[in-house]
């Protein structure tokens, strides 16, 4: 049996007025994996992610998500198809509780249509109960019961990250994209975060595609790891092999690396 890929990036390029950020890049993310994406600053990782997530349109090539060509699709269409990306809790949501932040996520709630509130109040009520139940399940899964009524703005950096992860659990995600989720999180909460990503993967079957600078986190979580440099994939494999690969050491240390 050949492997089952949730994402296939086929010879994709992105050109920003002369700057080639991604250069005929091809890679695949296997369903059920936690796949890492690493590479020196400016390698094209974020641009590649943006193209997968629909926030940037490729200059050429195509992107297949769950068997469908989604090249150039809008992020909200991809969201409906089950591709989610974590975002920082927006300023306006910081004045809402952790629980309310979770309950905001699912699209298409009948209560959002004013007419429904008047014409079908029981439907709106039962849908709200369903969403509340789901939010409670997510809170339990992530062991966040103690902060469920806390305003999101008052949570620590790590707790906010857990809540962001929790938001991806409010809808049935097939793929979760994480871009530098460890940035600004202390070691203890980082372990918590990594542990929950592993649990979501193993117990709930989520596939993750992860950009990360923290090599320890990558080593712990990701298999395989894909390495990009200068807009292309230069290596792929388990982290133990990647660490030993001279071409990769060259890519990281042969050129000046910023942060
Ligand atoms: N919007 C943009 N306009 C022009 N150049 C960009 C833009 N976004 C990224 N680039 C350039 O593309 C290259 C890859 O950037 P990026 O995808 O952010 O790399 P990484 O995430 O691996 O650090 C860099 O040279 C960067 O300066
Ligand atoms: Mg980046």
User: Secondary structure of 35-95 in the HEC alphabet?
Assistant: EEEECCCCCCHHHHHHHHHCCCCCCEEEEEECCEECCCCCHHHHHHHCEEECCCCCHHHCC
**Measured distance CA(99)–CA(52) in Å, rounded:** 29
**Measured distance CA(205)–CA(202) in Å, rounded:** 6
The alpha carbon of 146 and the centre of ligand 2 are apart by a number of angstroms equal to 34
CA distances from 229 to 11, 21, 119, 185, 239 (A): 15, 10, 57, 26, 16
Architecture of domain 1-82+172-259: 3-Layer(aba) Sandwich (3.40)
DSSP E strands in 158-259: the ranges are 175-179, 207-211, 225-229, 232-237
pLDDT attached to residue 257: 44
Kindly provide the b/e burial profile for residues 28-40, where b requires at least 16 CB atoms within 10 angstroms of the residue's own CB: bbeeebbbbbbbb
Spatial contact of 175 and 205, defined as CB atoms under 8 Å apart: no
Spatial contact of 213 and 41, defined as CB atoms under 8 Å apart: no
C-beta of 44 in contact with ligand 1 (< 6 A)? yes
* CA 16 centroid distance within chain: 24
The alpha carbon of 39 and the centre of ligand 2 are apart by a number of angstroms equal to 9
**Measured distance CA(173)–CA(105) in Å, rounded:** 12
Q: Where are the domains of the chain?
A: 1-82+172-259, 89-171
* Structure-block tokens of residue 79: 């969201």
The alpha carbon of 81 and the centre of ligand 2 are apart by a number of angstroms equal to 25
The protein residues having their C-beta less than 5 angstroms from ligand 2 (an ion) are: 45-46
pLDDT attached to residue 108: 54
Q: Which atom of ligand 1 is nearest to the CA of 231?
A: 14
Q: What is the pLDDT along the chain (259 residues), one digit of tens a residue?
A: 567 999 999 999 999 999 999 999 999 999 999 999 999 999 999 999 999 999 999 999 999 999 999 999 999 999 989 999 886 666 668 899 999 999 987 765 545 555 665 666 676 677 788 899 999 999 999 999 999 999 999 998 888 889 989 988 998 789 999 988 887 788 888 888 899 999 999 998 999 999 988 888 999 999 999 999 999 999 999 999 998 888 887 777 665 444 4
The SS3 call for residue 207 is: strand
């Amino acid at each position: 049996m050949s492997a089952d890929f949730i994402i296939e990036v086929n010879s994709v390029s992105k050109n920003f007025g002369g700057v080639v950020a991604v250069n005929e890049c091809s890679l695949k993310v296997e369903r059920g994996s936690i796949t890492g994406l690493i590479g020196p600053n400016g390698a094209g990782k974020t641009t590649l992610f943006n193209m997968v997530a629909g926030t940037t349109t490729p200059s050429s090539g195509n992107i297949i998500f769950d068997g469908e060509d989604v090249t150039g699709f809008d992020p909200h269409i991809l969201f409906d198809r089950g591709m989610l990306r974590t975002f920082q809790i927006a300023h306006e949501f910081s004045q809402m509780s952790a629980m309310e932040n979770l309950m905001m996520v699912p699209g298409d709630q009948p209560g959002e249509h004013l007419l429904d509130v008047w014409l079908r109040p029981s439907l709106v009520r039962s849908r709200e109960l369903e969403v509340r139940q789901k939010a409670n399940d997510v809170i339990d899964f992530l062991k966040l019961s103690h902060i469920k009524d806390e305003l999101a703005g008052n949570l620590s950096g790590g707790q906010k990250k857990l809540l962001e992860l929790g938001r991806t659990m409010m809808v049935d995600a097939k793929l979760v994209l994480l871009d530098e989720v460890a940035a600004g999180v202390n070691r203890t909460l980082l372990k918590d975060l990594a542990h929950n990503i592993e649990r979501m993967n193993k117990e709930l079957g989520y596939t993750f595609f992860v950009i990360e600078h923290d090599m320890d986190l990558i080593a712990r979580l990701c298999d395989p790891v894909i390495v990009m440099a200068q807009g292309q994939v230069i290596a792929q494999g388990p982290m133990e092999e990647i660490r030993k690969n001279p071409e990769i050491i060259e890519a990281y240390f042969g050129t000046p690396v910023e942060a």
